[in-house]
Amino acid sequence: MYKYLHNINTPEDIKKLDIDKLNILSNEIRKFLVKSVSNTGGHLAPNLGVVELTLALHYVFDSPKDKLIWDVGHQSYVHKIITGRREKFDTLRQFEGISGFPKKSESIHDIFDTGHSSTSISVGLGLAVARDIKNEKSHIISIIGDGALTGGMAFEALNHLGHTNTNMIVVLNDNEMSISKNVGSISNYLCNIRTNAAYKKVKDEIENIANHIPKIGKTFYETAGRFKNSLKYLLMPGALFEEMGLKYFGPIDGHDIEELINTFKNIKKVQGPVLVHVITKKGKGYKFAEECPDKYHGVGPFRIDKGVSESFIDTYSKIAGNKLLELAKLDDRVVAITAAMPSGTGLNKFQQVYPERFFDVGIAESHAVTFAAGLAANGLRPYFAVYSTFLQRGYDQIIHDACIQNLPVTFLIDRAGIVGDDGETHHGIFDLSYLSSMPNLKIMSPKDKHELEKMIQHSIKINTPVAIRYPRGEAISINDSADDKDIDKWEILNEGKDIAIIATGSMVKTSLDAKDILCNNGLNITVVNARCIKPLDEKLLQTIAKSHNTIITLEDNVLIGGFGSYVNSYLIKFKFKGDIVNMGWPDKFIEHGKVDILYDKYALSAQKIASRILDEIN
């Protein structure tokens, strides 16, 4: 099926191929990617867009001596294929299989573990400075997308890099996308560069004339260079990267492997920090992905001939987005904020109906939080929908700008808990621990879709910061019993004796399943839905403590500093004499794998929880 791909096991193997063969290899890799990801799921469109770029980098540079750092890392599949992991792609993002992101533990060619955006330039600069201090010789190359360039951390690093004299290469992979379409002034700036043919034509003509004047060519080129530097302010607005101290090269066709190779060969000789601007097409080579790259950014298994089927499942993201839209129709103070993920967080419809009240700030979570605080300070009711793993990036702003000033900002925390295949960089298992310590912040977590709707409805009445955390995936229905006014009180779902399970959020369903198993073993278990995590429902907790000998807390969060710790502190104050058992995630970073497999491995499945309770009482 493949003419060359089966013989590619190390970067050295591609150096043996000529340009024609590399182009054939590029097509083979795309076919391999589509076939593999259609079986396992994964990040398809980003990787289809960087095939030639990845081959050219490995062709010119010598990994791992020369170090490639992939920003975000979800576009590293081609890098993995040509560094000896092709035959493991049937295990991509599977439990105990290869990761969908770079991992140092997997390969010497993976220099740094990445998963979040905008970190690669900082990492690269650190590696480059360390290299210089140690008097080593190597090239450092950070590959960052134009979407990641909207993150403030990337500009902090560029600002630092531009004022050093260290040799480092930044490759800007410009495909006009992060996950959804990019927004903001940086995106507009790059668009100006991409479309400004006049500047490139004049620049090329200057170089061409200089090269054909034997004796005065150098002097002419220097003079013309000064003219070019003046010209760029007219034809290329801002000249942003060169003003920051980087030598700018581009834009370059990211699918012309010969041009890429020649460019990188020349840039190897350039002293100081360099930025190479490469234009790529996200999803290239697979019709469905080219036509709808955001839909094929991250996918589950699909049929190659038909593409990804539209999902009609009601996810928690959809429920949250639809309820927020409903709330906005009733209250014109309601505004929605996303950090480059309108689709992932369910805000697409809100964006369409109320574009003037919808704000996509780019990959800039810390800015999003403070922007929301400013909106709230002037009388609006902002809702920031964000994945739990990315909210971590706004930690200081939540405290300093929202909580200290007690502003009514609502955080809709999507993907709270274990998320599965994306693994340790994306699990949302820390938010309860750091949010619970913040004064003025109310934290809620629904057991099902009905409670999520009621919590969002109720949040408009709360004049303090609010966090509502909910899991990834299909929204379930347990019951629809709670009134809006009772939503911040705990709910007894099953009244038993001796042993009580107090569970939060998605773990409520698991506790009910465990209760059924224990019932078959002759035990009558109390199950409590702790839908309001902070403040605790102290009245009901006292009642439970007085009537039960054993209290078990259950959460989809790390145990240290989590819900169980919060309950423990109250029970100690209450002088509870019985046993307390906290169940949640241990003090470690949890690997990737299907959610059910991870729950079972870490004894958080209903069966394992029931077994632990039986062991406890025996």
- 396 is an annotated ligand-binding site residue: no
- 148 is an annotated ligand-binding site residue: yes
pLDDT at 201 over 70: no
477 in any annotated domain: no
Classify residue 291 as exposed, middle or buried by CB count within 10 Å of its CB (0-12, 13-18, 19+). exposed
Give the orientation angle of helix 120-133 with respect to helix 152-162, to 10 degrees. 30
Same domain for 320 and 286, yes or no, is no
306 is catalytic: no
pLDDT at 7 over 80: yes
288 in any annotated domain: yes
Render pLDDT for 450-464 as a digit per residue (tens, 0 to 9). Answer: 999 999 999 999 999
- 147 is an annotated ligand-binding site residue: yes
Same domain for 262 and 340, yes or no, is no
**Domain's final residue, options 264, 296, 328:** 296
Distances from the Cα of 438 to the Cαs of 434, 467, 539, in angstroms? Answer: 7, 11, 22
- 189 is an annotated ligand-binding site residue: no
Same domain for 338 and 252, yes or no, is no
Of the residues 30, 93, 323, 393, only one is catalytic, namely: 393
Same domain for 495 and 458, yes or no, is no
Same domain for 591 and 540, yes or no, is yes
Render pLDDT for 299-320 as a digit per residue (tens, 0 to 9). Answer: 999 999 999 988 889 999 999 9
Render pLDDT for 577-604 as a digit per residue (tens, 0 to 9). Answer: 999 999 999 999 999 999 999 999 999 9
- Look up the CATH number of the domain holding residue 451: 3.40.50.970
The domain in which residue 114 lies consists of: 5-213+227-296
Same domain for 147 and 239, yes or no, is yes
480 in any annotated domain: no
Spatial neighbors of 543 by CB under 8 A, at least 6 apart, are none
**Helix (H/G/I), strand (E/B), else coil: 239:** coil
Number of domains in the chain: 3
Spatial neighbors of 185 by CB under 8 A, at least 6 apart, are none
**Nearest Cα residue to 263 out of 166, 175, 169:** 169
393 is catalytic: yes
Contact 47, 75 (CB under 8 A): yes
Rounded Cα distance, 612 and 618, in Å: 10
Spatial neighbors of 192 by CB under 8 A, at least 6 apart, are 236, 237
- 346 is an annotated ligand-binding site residue: no
What is the side-by-side strand order in the sheet with 140-145?
Answer: 67-70, 140-145, 168-174, 273-279, 247-253
Same domain for 79 and 205, yes or no, is yes
Same domain for 405 and 363, yes or no, is yes
Same domain for 83 and 183, yes or no, is yes
- Look up the CATH number of the domain holding residue 557: 3.40.50.920
194 is catalytic: no
Task: Please report which confidence band the pLDDT of residue 237 belongs to, taking 50, 70 and 90 as the band edges.
Answer: very low
542 in any annotated domain: yes
Of the residues 67, 93, 282, 415, only one is catalytic, namely: 282
Q: What is the pLDDT of residue 500?
A: 97
DSSP result, 351-372? HHH-GGGEEE--S-HHHHHHHH
**Domain's final residue, options 263, 296, 329:** 296
222 in any annotated domain: no
455 in any annotated domain: yes
483 in any annotated domain: no
- 117 is an annotated ligand-binding site residue: yes
307 in any annotated domain: no
Question: The whole model's pTM is what?
Answer: 0.89
Same domain for 451 and 550, yes or no, is no
Same domain for 9 and 123, yes or no, is yes
Q: What is the pLDDT of residue 188?
A: 57
Of the residues 28, 52, 176, 365, only one is catalytic, namely: 365
**Domain's final residue, options 438, 469, 500:** 469
Rounded Cα distance, 67 and 75, in Å: 16
Same domain for 243 and 138, yes or no, is yes
Range with the poorest average pLDDT among 148-152, 200-204, 245-249, 381-385: 200-204
Task: Please report which confidence band the pLDDT of residue 198 belongs to, taking 50, 70 and 90 as the band edges.
Answer: very low
Q: Tokens in use for 437?
A: 């310590």
- 365 is an annotated ligand-binding site residue: yes
**Helix (H/G/I), strand (E/B), else coil: 458:** helix
